[in-house]
Amino acid sequence: MPWRTAVVFILFALFPKRAAASVPGPPSSIYQDAVTNSTKAGLAWPNSNYDDISQFLGTGKVQWYYTWSPEPVRTNIEFVPMLWGASQTSDWDNHINSTVQQQHVTHVLGFNEPEISGQSNLTPADAATLWKAHIEPLKGLGVKLGSPALSGAPQGKQWLQDWLAECAGGCTVDFVALHWYNINSTQFVEYLEDYHDTFERPVWVTEWACENFSDADEQCSLQDIVNLMNATQQFMDDTPWVERYAWFGAMVDLQGVNQENALMSAQGQINALGVQYIGAVTPNVSSDYQPGVVHGGSGVSTPISGPNSGSAMTSREISVLCVVASLFPLVMNWY
Ligand SMILES: *[C@@H]1O[C@H](CO)[C@@H](O)[C@H](O)[C@H]1NC(C)=O
Ligand SMILES: *[C@@H]1O[C@H](CO)[C@@H](O)[C@H](O)[C@H]1NC(C)=O
Ligand SMILES: *[C@@H]1O[C@H](CO)[C@@H](O)[C@H](O)[C@H]1NC(C)=O
Ligand SMILES: *[C@@H]1O[C@H](CO)[C@@H](O)[C@H](O)[C@H]1NC(C)=O
Ligand SMILES: *[C@@H]1O[C@H](CO)[C@@H](O)[C@H](O)[C@H]1NC(C)=O
Ligand SMILES: *[C@@H]1O[C@H](CO)[C@@H](O)[C@H](O)[C@H]1NC(C)=O
């Protein structure tokens, strides 16, 4: 973890510029066209209580969230705890059973991008051991278990297959979680179909965005993002074996991922893309949309965590986790 980033986040956490309650929501008129037929949409939410989650809930389309951690925030939508990696196991073990009970948890998520060294960085064998000790027992509570979420990099699928082999039948995978960063919505569909065909499980997309990690000059404009979000969200809403999804991301700083993908402004308020994501408007999709053809936006060619990882969450995520962990006894009020 870069210590400077952590210090900044600790300062923000101690002296928040805005209390969640003081952020004004969007005018209620934007919700008049609400598309609320799917309960698949969720929020990948690293913001604790410092950004207002309720401004994403007005249409009812967003029904769940996760925080890359075992710790919920203050909201009424469904919480899905995640065991991000080995560093969270004691927090997980100390709280997960009571969290399951008190938050009415129905699903949990496994490790975050374990095949990436800058992420949870686990070998398939170590991950199988951790899984059996910390995740598999939750089956006894009736909770559905989501696979480790691979980054979208080519080695991801092989990692998951190796992990299943190491588990030797001892890891229950009720659904497969995955991440995807790319620019072609047709390839998104192909990628999900391949995972579904290979693992024969329902699919959750727990991070995705319009981002080219291999060529910084081939990035999505905001219009390209509008088009890609529309096509991919429509596919998932219409496809029964896609159970849930969460865009990357509902946060102020996307940490190197093309910032146009943000669902909120620099001030933490839902923006036009966020309003599209929650189904409050009919998106202005290009009439000549060609999947994979992009028109230039800002973005980086390699994610912060290393080349070709296809990953997004690194320092901010870890910083947020540090902040959550360090401030937990002081300010968190999650039961
Ligand atoms: C809503 O979902 C139901 C069940 O899947 C489906 O039959 C119906 O057509 C959907 N309605 C709209 C407006 O998409
Ligand atoms: C949590 O619940 C599981 C399933 O019932 C059980 O195996 C485990 O021992 C419990 N953990 C604690 C700390 O009580
Ligand atoms: C990124 O841009 C390069 C160069 O145009 C292209 O070959 C590649 O398919 C694009 N997408 C990804 C994920 O690399
Ligand atoms: C995609 O865009 C079309 C045309 O604007 C719209 O009818 C449809 O509801 C959109 N779907 C989603 C999931 O945004
Ligand atoms: C939709 O976006 C296009 C540019 O992509 C713009 O020319 C058009 O005016 C927009 N339409 C509406 C209704 O906003
Ligand atoms: C987008 O992906 C599809 C399916 O792989 C492919 O046929 C198409 O050529 C791609 N578009 C571009 C512009 O590369």
pLDDT at 120: 95
- As a whole number, the mean pLDDT across the chain is 83
Mean pLDDT of 252-260: 93
Contact between 69 and 88 under an 8 Å Cβ cutoff? The reply is: yes
pLDDT at 20: 35
Span 98-139, pLDDT tens digits: 999 999 999 999 999 999 988 999 999 999 999 999 999 999
* DSSP letter for each residue of 112-157: BSTTSTTTT---HHHHHHHHHHHTGGGGGGT-EEEPPBB-SSTHHH
- Among the bound ligands, name the one nearest to the CA of residue 272: 5
- The alpha carbon of 37 and the centre of ligand 1 are apart by a number of angstroms equal to 6
Q: Is 141 in the pocket of ligand 2 (CB under 6 A)?
A: yes
Ligand 4 atom closest to the Cα of residue 276 is 14
The more confident residue out of 155 and 299 is: 155
Q: Is 186 in the pocket of ligand 6 (CB under 6 A)?
A: yes
Percent of all residues in the chain with a pLDDT value above 70, rounded to a whole number: 78
pLDDT in tens, 18-28: 333 333 344 44
SS3 for 263? coil
The band of 83, judged by pLDDT with boundaries at 50, 70 and 90, is very high
Its pTM stands at 0.83
Sketch the domain layout of the chain as residue ranges.
3-331
* Cβ of 75 below 6 Å from ligand 4: no
The length of the chain in residues reads: 335
Please give the pLDDT value at position 154: 83
First-last CA distance in the chain: 28
Residue 301's pLDDT band (cuts 50, 70, 90): low
The CA distance from 99 to 95, in Å, is 6
Closest ligand 5 atom to Cα of 286: 5
**Does the C-beta of 300 come closer than 6 Å to ligand 3?**
no
- The pLDDT assigned to 300 comes to 64
Please determine, for residue 299, whether its predicted confidence score (pLDDT) is greater than 90.
no
Identify whether the C-beta of residue 218 lies closer than 8 Å to the C-beta of residue 184: no
DSSP state, 55? G
Count Cα atoms within 13 angstroms, Cβ side, for 136.
12
Kindly give the distance from the C-alpha atom of residue 152 to the centroid of ligand 4, in angstroms, as a whole number: 25
> Which parts of the chain are beta strand (E)?
41-44, 62-66, 78-79, 107-109, 144-146, 176-182, 203-210, 242-247
What is d(CA 216, CA 266) in angstroms, rounded to the nearest whole number? 23
Q: Which residues contact 313 (CB under 8 A, 6 or more apart)?
A: 46, 68, 112, 113, 119, 207, 255
The CA 292 to ligand 3 mean position distance, Å, reads 9
Q: Indicate which residue's Cα is closest to atom 12 of ligand 6.
A: 292
Residue 292 Cβ < 6 Å to ligand 6: yes
> Residue whose CA is closest, atom 4 of ligand 3?
215
Q: Is 155 in the pocket of ligand 2 (CB under 6 A)?
A: no
The fold for domain 3-331 equals TIM Barrel (3.20.20)
- State the burial class of residue 132 (Cβ atoms within 10 Å of its Cβ: 0-12, 13-18, 19+): middle
Conformation bin of residue 320: beta by default, left when phi > 0, alpha when psi is -120 to 50? alpha
pLDDT over 50 at 56, yes or no:
yes
Point out the ligand nearest to the CA of residue 309.
3
Q: Residue type at 322?
A: C
* Residue pair 319/6 in contact by the 8 Å Cβ criterion: yes
**177-205 per-position pLDDT tens digit:** 999 999 999 999 999 999 999 999 999 99
Query: For ligand 3, is residue 183 a contact (CB within 6 Å)?
Result: yes
